[in-house]
Amino acid sequence: MHESPIIKLGGLNIDLAIVIMLVVTCTIVFVLARLGTRRLSVENPGKMQNFMEWVVEFVLGLISSTMDLKKGKPFLKLGMTLIMFIFVGNMLGLPFSLVTEYSQVDKAQIFGHPLVTVVDALDKAHASNPGGEHIEVGVAWWKSPTADASVAMGLALMVFVLSNGLGIIKNPRNYFKHYLQPYPFFLPINLIEQFSKLLTQGMRLFGNIFAGEVLISVLIKLSALGVVGTIGSVLGLVVWQGFSIFVGSIQAFVFTILTMVYLSQALETHDEH
């Protein structure tokens, strides 16, 4: 498995791959959105504007399927940013990857900062096998930002904080009451449920995308097995990349709709009963 290019900067572990990929993802999403809203027209929308409006309608559909549209309208921007960010992020890891290999500790550095993980891995390898054969540690610079547990969990944490915070501020009575339902001794289960929501939402996204990238790198390594391996690798990559596009879209959709579901659960008022 490839290591992450982490450097120490003022006591913080900065993952350079994450920084790069976050910037790339945000840039692509923003450029896409700007292209879609460049020449806005009421009566004669262009193709890109139509696409952006389709995204708006799609997210509106997600919101209205989980809660009252009047209540959910403020989350439209959140949903659109989420679905575009996650979708683009999921797609970025598919077409190619960028790996650098390091075999010597003193070369594993960038801008004068040592790559902590590479140094550790090399040290460990040398310690377990002193004076052994040539060891190389690969560092992945290009991958899906969502294939990183930290980023995926960060997004899930944001949804968690947002839904619980809104529940406490806007809907305190029903929010706290729902922990004791249907019976007060369900309290621990309800608490666990809240945290399992956080975990599953983040881990589902991370797991799907990460597993997809792992399988892609495994398929690439298959080509080392000669002609048969290369053919199998190419065929497998074609199939798996196509499937990964599907998985990436589904995960973006699932993450967004789960966000809306959690928000609607927190804002549920039971007024109609």
Partner 1 sequence: MSFHWESLVLGLIAFAILYWLLSKYAFDPLFSIMEKRRELVQQQLTEASNTREQAIGYVEEQKAALQQARQQAYDIIEQSKQTSGKQAAQIVDLAKNEATRLKDDAVRDIQNEKNKAVEQLRSEVGIASVKIASKLLEKEVKEDNVQEELVDQYLKEVGGKS
Query: Which two structure tokens, joined as six digits, stand for 231?
Result: 């053919």
Q: Where are the alpha helices (DSSP H) in the chain?
A: 16-36, 47-66, 69-72, 76-92, 116-128, 149-170, 172-177, 187-222, 226-267
Kindly tell me which residue out of 58, 64, 68, 81 binds partner 1, with binding defined by CB under 8 A.
81
The reply on whether position 247 binds partner 1 by CB under 8 A is: no
Q: Find the binder of partner 1 among 2, 5, 36, 115 (CB under 8 A).
A: 36
Which one among 25, 163, 244, 251 touches partner 1, defined by CB under 8 A?
25
Q: Which of 52, 94, 108, 216 binds partner 1 (CB under 8 A)?
A: 52
Q: Does 217 bind partner 1 (CB under 8 A)?
A: no
Residue 2 per-residue DSSP state? P
Contact status: 154 vs partner 1 (CB under 8 A): yes
CA dist 91 to 52, 84, 154, 216, 237, Å?
A: 18, 11, 19, 13, 14
Number of residues that bind partner 1 (CB under 8 A): 46
- Tokens 């913080």: give the residue: 12
Interaction of residue 119 with partner 1, rule CB under 8 A: no
Residue 235 as a binder of partner 1 (CB under 8 A): the answer is no
220 makes contact with partner 1 (CB under 8 A): no
Rounded CA-CA distance 171/177 in Å is: 10
Report d(CA 187, CA 182) in Å as an integer: 9
**Residue 44 found at the interface with partner 1 (CB under 8 A):** no
> By C-beta, is 18 or 105 nearer to partner 1?
18
Q: Which of 92, 108, 151, 252: binder of partner 1 (CB under 8 A)?
A: 151
Assess 12 for contact with partner 1 (CB under 8 A): yes
First to last CA, the chain: 54
Q: How many CA atoms lie within 13 A of 60 on its CB side?
A: 9
CB nearer to partner 1: give 93 or 175: 93
Question: How many C-beta atoms lie closer than 10 Å to residue 16's C-beta?
Answer: 18
Site for partner 1 (CB under 8 A): which residue of 2, 4, 93, 255?
A: 4
Which one, 36 or 167, has the nearer CB to partner 1? 36
Helix, strand, coil distribution of the chain in percent, nearest 5: 75, 10, 20
| Residue whose C-alpha is closest to residue 273's, from 177, 136, 139, 133 | 177
Of residues 81, 267, 37, the one with CA closest to residue 168: 267
- State whether residue 99 is helix, strand or coil: strand
For residue 49, the number of C-alpha atoms closer than 13 Å in the C-beta half-sphere is 10
- Residues in 156-195 that interact with partner 1 by CB under 8 A: 157-158
The answer to the question of residue 56 lying near partner 1 (CB under 8 A) is: yes
Q: Give 10 or 184: the residue with its C-beta nearer to partner 1.
A: 10
Q: Where do contacts with partner 1 occur on this chain (CB under 8 A)?
A: 4, 6, 12-15, 18-19, 22-23, 25-26, 29-30, 33-34, 36-37, 40-43, 45, 49, 52-53, 56, 76-78, 80-81, 84-85, 117, 145, 148-151, 153-155, 157-158, 210
